[in-house]
Structure 1
Amino acid sequence: MVNLIINPLSKKLKKINCDTTPNTRLSAIIEAYAKKNSVSDPNRIKFSYLAEENDKEKDKKKRLPLKNYLTLEENGLDFAQASTLNVYAKDVGPQIGWRTVYFLEYLGPMIIHSLFYYGYYSASDMTYTQVLAYNLTLLHYLKREYETLFIHTFSADTMPFAFLFRNSGHYWINSLLIAFSVYSPQSVVYSNKFWSVIHHVEDRSLDELKWFGGAMVLFEICNLYCHIILRRLRSDGTRAHKIPYGFAFKFVSFPNYLFEFLSWTVFAVMTNNWSSYVFLVAGTGTMMMWAKQKHAKYKKTFGDKYPKNRKAMIPFIF
């Protein structure tokens, strides 16, 4: 047995001495601690510990988060040096499941696009380009929902409830812009040039649309396959990060971002509407930032084992 001293970082929590073992899963300790503090949702409680970090000039302590799904030992708590260790508990407020957040993120665009397509505008007045744009958009978000419910695994169970609005804002706001701009009647002649630019959608021929539609569906399938490869890495139930191999992972760390970028590039060029380009630029910028950060984390975690010639998101370039 070892002794774990749980120090509160939130006023409503209590300091508790806990007798446990190094191979006890942290989630079990958090559940017991939450019950002792009358906290109905254990996901509100996050544990951390202080680790030494050399800062060249002086030593300083850095607070590191503990992962609920790991044991105390797997989290790096070394009871070989001392039988009593300190950890810190904080109430991080109302939580919401990652899967729930993703589901709502993608449900919003499907509702918004459908309301504009069938309600605010008339579906019977749509050009072939607009019809394909709507169906491709719906297909994309239906694929996202399928991945959310049946493919994705998450390193953490929950996130702060307030993040729901931050995360959904990107998809919901851009969906409003695209739906308002892309599905408007193309037969209307605007006296104000501003509105003619806002609502302009390229009038593509059926032969052109076959190529655009085929290319976007292909990139969506490639994106889906990347997620399946990532899912297989955790088929044993573990949440630990592993090095993905095969398919486009040979060239980049995050080909799922690459195919997402290619998919929406096709959509933007096909519609040739300003809102599609805004969504493309905003989404690509975010994905490039994520890819750069996660790529650096991969290299730091796996060191020489990580493929040296693999780029973050764009083969041979970025």
Structure 2
Amino acid sequence: MVNLIINPVSKKFKKINCDTTPNTRLSAIIEAYAKKNNVSDPNRIKFSYIPDDEKSKKKITLKNYLTLEENGLDFKQNKEETLHVYAKDVGPQIGWRTVYFIEYLGPMIIHSLFYYLYYDAGKMNYTQILSYNLTLLHYLKREYETLFIHTFSADTMPLSFLFRNSGHYWIINGLFIAFSIYAPSDSYYDVSTTSGQIWKFIHHIEDRSLDELKWFGGAMVIFEICNLYCHILLRRLRSDGSREHKIPYGFAFKFVSFPNYFFEFLSWTVFALMTNNWSSYFFLIVGTGTMMMWAKQKHAKYKKTFGDKYPKNRKAMIPFIF
């Protein structure tokens, strides 16, 4: 038994002393603490602690699904049998799975509205038709992964993140691309005027032959399947129900830590080259830059967590390069 002192960081919380054990799951303590403070959603409460060996005294956030001991709280060396943790109100929360579902639903709705209502679906060329179907296929795959494959280390994220995350998909992929690539062909615009030239640039899309589109479409489908398989392999790492990070092996994980990002990059590269529209390239650049940033951060975390056990020759995202 140990005495746990919960120190409030947020003014609305109370300082509470409680007796507990090292193998008590943190989520149970947070639920009890939430009731004491009349907080209806325990997910908005986060606990942190300062390790005794930390010179900087930087607080480390505790994971709700782990026990106190699994979170690293030192019970053996603490002679006074009293430990301090800090409670913070992180604001309204929303489930990770809910956020992903909403993120990916947006582009499907927006693309469909532009394709069938804003423009005339009956006048689309083959490139526009394939673009719409590949976009729909991509986000249907994403929704399937969200509902049946993905596992999450945390249950919730701040509600404000929903708007930030959705903006990337709803505005750039949804609004920008759908508005640009489903418009009438280039010949519709009067290039003798400045405005006509601008609109022709905005709505330009390659009118490719069926033979060309078979190659583009086939390549994108293959990369989408590879991306899906990477998520399946990651899912298998947590088939026992645990949430801890483990070293992934097999398939493209032999070369990079995040091949799912790599195949996502290849997939949208094919899409951009196929449509040859500014909005597709813009989405590719923004998305790739974001994935490279994530891959670099997570790759460094893998190496820090697993040390010499982590494969040394493995890159972050792009084989042999990055």
- Which residue number corresponds to residue 100 of structure 2? 102
RMSD (Å) for aligned C-alpha atoms:
0.9
- 1:3 is aligned to 3
Give the TM-score taking structure 1 as reference length.
0.97
AA partner of residue 72 (structure 1): L
**Structure 2, unaligned runs of 5 or more:** none
> Across the two proteins, how many residue pairs are aligned to each other?
314
Equivalent of residue 77 in structure 1, options 67, 73, 77: 73
Contact 2:50 2:59 in 1 (8 A): yes
Equivalent in the alignment of 1:239:
243
Shift of 1:53: 5.6
Amino acid paired to 1:5? I
Q: Find the aligned partners of 1:44 and 1:280 in 2 and give their Cα distance.
A: 34
Report the AA paired with residue 44 of structure 1. R
CA distance in 2, matches of 1:18, 1:157: 25
- Deviations along 1:124-148, one digit per CA (max 9) or x if unpaired, are 0100000000000000000000000
Provide the C-alpha distance between the structure 1 equivalents of 2:188 and 2:123, rounded to a whole number of angstroms: 11
Tell me the residue number matched to 2:51.
51
Contact 2:189 2:197 in 1 (8 A): no
Pairing partner for 2:122 from 121, 124, 127:
124
Contact 1:53 1:60 in 2 (8 A): no
Give, in angstroms, the shift of residue 185 of structure 1: 1.0
Is 2:65 the counterpart of 1:66? no
Alpha-carbon distance, 1:52 to partner: 4.5
Q: Provide the secondary structure at the position in 2 that maps to 1:146.
A: helix
Task: Give yes or no for the alignment of 1:181 onto 2:180.
Answer: yes
The answer on 1:164 being equivalent to 2:168 is no
1:33 match: 33
Cα deviation code 1:4-25 (max 9, x no counterpart) = 0001011111011111110000
Change (3 A) 1:165 1:26: same
After superposition, the C-alpha distances for 1:160-210 in whole angstroms (9 at most, x for unaligned) are: 101100111111111200000000011513342111111000010001101
Q: Does 1:265 align with 2:261?
A: no
Code of the residue aligned with 1:24 in structure 2: it is T
Mapped to 2, the partners of 1:60 and 1:245 lie a distance apart of: 36
Query: Separation in 1 of the partners of 2:276 and 2:13?
Result: 55
| Structure 1 residue 51, shift from structure 2 partner | 2.0
1:6 aligns to what SS in structure 2? strand
Whether contact under 8 Å (1:53, 1:62) holds in the other structure is no
Residue equivalent to 1:219? 223
Q: Distance in 2 between matches of 1:316 and 1:11?
A: 50
User: For the Cα contact (< 8 Å) 2:46–2:89, is it kept in 1?
Assistant: yes
| Aligned-partner Cα distance in 1 for 2:64–2:100 | 21
Q: Residue 141 of structure 1 aligns with which residue? A: 139
Distance 2:190 2:53 in 1: 64
Tell me the distance in 2 between the aligned counterparts of 1:226 and 1:52: 39
Compute the displacement of 1:80 (Å): 1.4
1:193-232 alignment, distance < 5 Å: 193-232=197-236
Partner of 1:156: helix, strand, or coil?
coil
The answer as to whether partners of 2:51 and 2:73 remain within 8 angstroms in 1 is: no
Q: What does the per-residue CA deviation read over 1:50-72, in whole Å, with 9 as the maximum and x for residues that have no partner?
A: 12466xxxx32110000000000
**CA distance in structure 1 between the aligned counterparts of 2:201 and 2:52, rounded to whole angstroms:** 58
Q: Distance in 2 between matches of 1:53 and 1:294?
A: 25
Q: Distance in 2 between matches of 1:299 and 1:81?
A: 28
Aligned match of 1:294 in 293, 298, 315? 298
What is the letter of the counterpart of residue 213 of structure 2? L
SS in 1 for 2:183: coil
CA distance in 2, matches of 1:261, 1:269: 12
1:28 Cα deviation after fit: 0.3
User: Which letter maps to 2:220?
Assistant: M
| 2:292 partner letter | M
- The letter of the residue matching 1:64 is I
Q: Distance in 2 between matches of 1:190 and 1:197?
A: 12
